[in-house]
Amino acid sequence: MNPWPFVIAAYAASLVGTAALLIASFASMRRAEAEAGKLRRDDR
């Protein structure tokens, strides 16, 4: 059995999962901080 497809699949799953987590976390942070900043500016 050729092991490389399994190695590549495991790395792909790990890297895609990590990238998705980081992108989702970054987008959530940016959205929430932008909303909080907008509300603070509106209050002034």
Partner 1 sequence: MHAFANPARFLGIARPATGWLLVLGLALAVVGVVGGLTLTPPDYLQGETVRIMYVHVPAAWLGMAGWAGIAAAAISQLVWRHPLAAVAGRAIAPCGATFTAICLVSGSIWGRPTWGTWWEWDGRLTSMLILFFLYLGYIALAAAEADRGGSAEGRITAIFGLVGAINLPIIHYSVLWWRTLHQGQSISLSGSTIAPSILWPLGFTFFGFTFLFAAAVLMRMRAGLARARVEARLRRASAQ
Whole-number Å distance between alpha carbons of 36 and 14? 33
Q: How far is the CB of 34 from partner 1 (least distance, A)?
A: 8
- SS percent in the chain: helix, strand, coil, step 5: 90, 0, 10
Determine if 4 is a binding residue for partner 1 (CB under 8 A). yes
Whole-number Å distance between alpha carbons of 4 and 25? 31
Determine if 41 is a binding residue for partner 1 (CB under 8 A). no
Q: Which residues bind partner 1 (CB under 8 A)?
A: 1, 3-4, 6-7, 9-11, 13-15, 17-18, 20-22, 24-26, 28-29, 31-33, 35-36, 39-40, 43
